[in-house]
Amino acid sequence: MKPGNDRGTIVTFAVIALLILAMAVVNFTNLATARASQRAREVALRKVLGANRRQLIIQFLGESLLISMVSMLIALAMVELLLPAFAAFLDADMTVSYFGTDGILLPVLLLVLVVGVLGGLYPAFFLSRFQPATVLKANKSSAEAAGTGRLRSVLVIGQFAVSIGLIICTAVIYAQTVYARTVDPGFKRDHILQVEELNRYQLIDKGETIAEQTRRVPGVEAVGRTTIGVATENNSNTGIALPGQADRSTSASTVWISAFSRRWG
C-alpha cells in the first residue's frame, strides 16, 4: 500500500548515489597522487620560475574543477539522451527542468564545486609541496612521500569495500524482487484496487456509500469491504486454546468481510 516514491525510497537511492560519487572522488584522488611523479618536475620548474605554493594549489584545484565540470556536462548529455527510454521502460512521465523552483541547475553547480574541491584538495596540497632542489637533482623524481602509499591503500580498501557492499545489496534486492513477483500470494493480483483508511472520522460512516458509488463505475465487477486489507500493517488477533492443550494458545486473525456485491447489466 506504500507509494513507490515515498521518502524512504528516495533517501535510499540518494545514499547509494552519494556512495558511488564518493567512490569516484576517491578514485580520482588515487590516480592523481599515483601520477604525482610525472608532475614533480613540472612543479619544480614552476617554483624555480617564481610560482609560490598558493598559485600551484589554485592551479591543481582549477584542474580538478574543470574535470568535474566536463564530467557533469557529459552526465547531463547522457541523461537527456537516455531519459525518454528510461521513462518509457518505467511507464512514467519523467522530465528534467534546469530553471525555476524545480530546476536542478543550482544543485548541479553546487555538486560540481563540492566534488571538484573534494577530489582535488589533497592532490593539490600533495603536489605543491615538492622541493625543486630535491626533484631536479635526482635522476628520477622523488615524488613519493612518506605515508602516501599507506593513504592510497586505505582509500583503495574503502573503495572496494563500498563496491562489494553495493554489489551484495543489489543481489539481495534483485532476489527479493524476483521472489515477490513469482511467489503465489493466494489471490489474483490483477485488476484489484484496494483503498485504505476508510475508518477515519470523516469517512467512518460513509463506507457503504463509497462502496455503492464505486460499484456503479463502469468496469467495476465487484466491491467488498473488510476490516483488514491485504498486505497492510493492521491486525486483529485473538488467542485460541487448542484442543487438548489448555495450557497453550495460538493467535488467529479475526477479519470481518462483507459480501461482495456485483454490478450486473
pLDDT tens across 50-68, in order? 777 778 778 888 888 888 8
The angle at the Cα of 179, spanning 166 to 84, to the nearest 5 degrees, equals: 65
Pairing of strands 245-253, 237-242: antiparallel
Which residue numbers in the chain have pLDDT < 50?
A: 141-143, 146, 263-265
Q: What is the pLDDT of residue 141?
A: 46
Q: What is the pLDDT of residue 134?
A: 64
DSSP reduced 3-state for 264: coil
Alpha-carbon gap, residue 232 to 7, rounded angstroms: 18
Long-range contacts (CB closer than 8 Å, 24 or more residues apart) made by 103-109: 108/72, 108/76
Alpha-carbon gap, residue 48 to 38, rounded angstroms: 17
191, exposed or middle or buried, with CB in 10 Å at 0-12, 13-18, 19+? Answer: exposed
Q: Are 125 and 53 in contact (CB under 8 A)?
A: no
Which of the 8 DSSP states describes residue 94? -
Retrieve residue 124's grid coordinates: 593539490
Q: What is the pLDDT of residue 265?
A: 38
Q: What is the pLDDT of residue 264?
A: 43
Q: What is the pLDDT of residue 5?
A: 61
Helical (H) or strand (E) element with 241 = strand 237-242
Placement of cell 512514467 in the chain:
92
